[in-house]
Structure 1
Amino acid sequence: MILYFSGTGNSEYVAKKIAEELGDDMLNLFDKIRGHDYSISHSDRPWVIVSPTYAWQIPRLLYDWLSRTELKGNRDIYFVMTCGGGIGNADAYVKKLSLSKGLHYLGCAPVVMPENYIAMFQTPEREEALKIVEEAEKTIKNISLTIKNGTSFSELSITWKDKLSSGIVNSIYYPLLVHARKFYTTDACVSCGKCEKMCPLGNIHLEQGKPVWGNQCTHCMACICRCPKEAIEYGKHSKGLPRYTCP
C-alpha cells in the first residue's frame, strides 16, 4: 500500500509512479490528516510512505499521523522522500518511528524533484521543472524495483551537516520560521476558496470572501502554489516567482 502526503504535487506524482510500477493501491492521506482520522489501516503488501521533506525530516503533521495510526497486516515499511536537494539525516528519524511501531524498516530513499518552497527559495520555470521531473524517472523506477524485490534501499552516506540539519536546525526552524504571518492576498483574489479547501490542517478560513490564516501552518505551500489567480504572496520573497505544482 502506497500512503502519501503532498502539498504541491511532487510526492503525489512519485507515489502514482511507484503504484503504477508495483500495481499497488495508493491512498492520499490529506483527508485523514485534516480530519484527525487515526483509524486502523491495513495492507497485505509492504507499506510505502511517500512524503515531501520539510527541514530535512518528514513533515511533522505526517509524523504525528503515523505515530497515532496502527498499520496492520504486512510489517515491512519503506519511506520515499521528495526533496529539492537532499533529505539530511531523515532516515534516522523515520527508522526510529518505524521500529517503535514494530515495523520492519527497509530504508529511506530520496527523489530530487523541482523546488517548491516558494516562501524561501527560487521555484523553477516550467521548462526547468519538467527537465528535473524527467531526470527523476530513473530514480523512481530503481526505487520501485527495490520494493518489488523486497530488498532494502541502499544506505545513505550521512555527514555531520546532515545530522545537524535534521536535528538542531529542524528543531529551531519550525518554531522560528514555520508560520503563516507573512501570507496575504492581492486584489487578484476572486474568493474561490480553493486555498481553504487545500489546507491540510484546516488553517485557512474565508472572511468576507478573503482567506485568513490561523496559527497551525506547516508551510506545505499548497495555498500559494495552487491559487488559480496567483493572488497569494508570502512577504516580499514570492513576488515575481513562478508558482509550482507537479506536473
Structure 2
Amino acid sequence: MIVYFTGTGNSRYCAQQLADQLEDTLLDAVPFIRDGIAAELFSEKPWVFAAPTYGWQLPRVFARLIQNGSFAGSRDAYFVMTCGSEIGNAARYNQALCRKKGLRHRGTLPVVMPENYIALFDAPEEAEARKIIAAAQPALERGIGCIRSGRDFPAVKAGLTDKLKSGIVNAAFYRFIVRAKPFTVSDACIRCGKCENACPLGNLRLRDGTPVWGGRCTHCMACICGCPAGAIEYGTASRGKPRYQCPEYEK
C-alpha cells in the first residue's frame, strides 16, 4: 500500500506513479491527519510511505500518523521523500520509526522535485518545474525497481552537516519558523474557499468569507500555493515569488 502526505502535490505525484506501476493501492493520509483518526490498515504488499521533507525529516504530522497507526500484514517499509535538494539524515529517523512499529526499514529514497517552500525559498517558474519533474523520473524508476524486486533502496550517506540538519536544525525549524501568524490575505481574495479545503490539518477557516489561520500549521504551503487569486502572502517573504503546485500524475 502506498500511503502519502502532500501539501502542493509533489509527493502525491510520486505516490500516484508508484501505485500505478506497482499496481498497488493508493491512500491519502490527509483525512486521517485532519480528523485525528488513528489509521488501521492492512497490506500484503510492502508499505510505501511517500511524503515531503520538512527540515530534513518526515513532516511531524506524517511521522505521528505512522507512529500512532496500525500497519498489519507486510513488515517491510519503504520511504520516498520528495525534496528541493536533499534529505539530510532523514533515513536514520525513518529507521528508528520502523523499529518502534515493528517494521523493517527497506530504505529511504530521496526524489528531487520542484521547490515549494516559498516561506524561505523560491519556487521555480512553470517551465523549469516541468524540467525538474522530468529529471526526477530516473530516481522514481530505480525506486520502483527496488520495490518490485524486493531489494532495499540504496543507502543514503549522511555526513556531519546532514546529521546537524536533521537534528538541531530540524528542532529549531519547528520551534522558531513553523507558525501561521505571518500568513495574510489581501483584497484580491475571491472567497472561493479553496484554501480552507486544501489545508491538511484543518487549521484554516473562513470567517465572513475570509481565511483565518489557527495555531495548528505544518507549513505545507497548500493554502498559499493553491490560491487561484494569489491573494495569500507569508509576510514579505513570499512577495513576488511564483506559486507552485504539482500536476496529477498521468500515464
TM-score range, shorter chain: over 0.9
The one-letter amino acid of 2:243's match is R
Identity fraction in percent: 50
Tell me what 2:218 maps to. 218
Deviations 1:152-201 (A, max 9, x none): 01111111000000001101110101001110011110111111111111
Tell me what 1:201 maps to. 201
The one-letter amino acid of 1:110's match is P
Tell me what 1:146 maps to. 146
Tell me what 1:76 maps to. 76
Deviations 1:58-86 (A, max 9, x none): 00000111110010011100000000000
- Counterpart CA distance in 2 for 1:165 and 1:142 is 26
* TM-score (normalised: structure 1): 0.99
SS in structure 1 opposite 2:99? helix
Q: Give the drift of 1:16.
A: 0.7
Tell me what 1:65 maps to. 65
Deviations 1:72-111 (A, max 9, x none): 0111000000000000000000100001111111010100
Q: Give the drift of 1:11.
A: 0.2
The one-letter amino acid of 1:71's match is F
* TM-score (normalised: structure 2): 0.97
The one-letter amino acid of 1:150's match is G
Count of matched residue pairs: 247
Tell me what 1:2 maps to. 2
- Counterpart CA distance in 1 for 2:122 and 2:102 is 40
Given the superposition, is the C-alpha separation of residues 39 and 143 from structure 1 closer, same or farther in structure 2, using an over 3 Å criterion? closer
Q: Give the drift of 1:129.
A: 0.3
SS in structure 1 opposite 2:105? strand
Matched, 1:162 2:162: yes
- Counterpart CA distance in 1 for 2:137 and 2:6 is 18
Q: Give the drift of 1:25.
A: 1.0
Q: Which runs of 5+ in 2 are unaligned?
A: none
Deviations 1:105-138 (A, max 9, x none): 1010100000000111011000000000000011
Q: Give the drift of 1:57.
A: 0.2
Q: Give the ranges of 4+ consecutive aligned residues of structure 1 lying more than 3 Å apart after TM superposition.
A: none
- Counterpart CA distance in 1 for 2:207 and 2:245 is 26
Tell me what 2:47 maps to. 47
Equivalences for residues 1-247 of structure 1 within 5 A: 1-247=1-247
SS in structure 2 opposite 1:18? helix
- Counterpart CA distance in 1 for 2:137 and 2:156 is 19
- 8 Å CA contact 1:21–1:141 kept in 2: the answer is no
- 8 Å CA contact 1:111–1:139 kept in 2: the answer is yes
- Counterpart CA distance in 1 for 2:39 and 2:62 is 15
- 8 Å CA contact 2:39–2:65 kept in 1: the answer is no
- 8 Å CA contact 1:182–1:234 kept in 2: the answer is yes
Q: Give the drift of 1:39.
A: 3.6
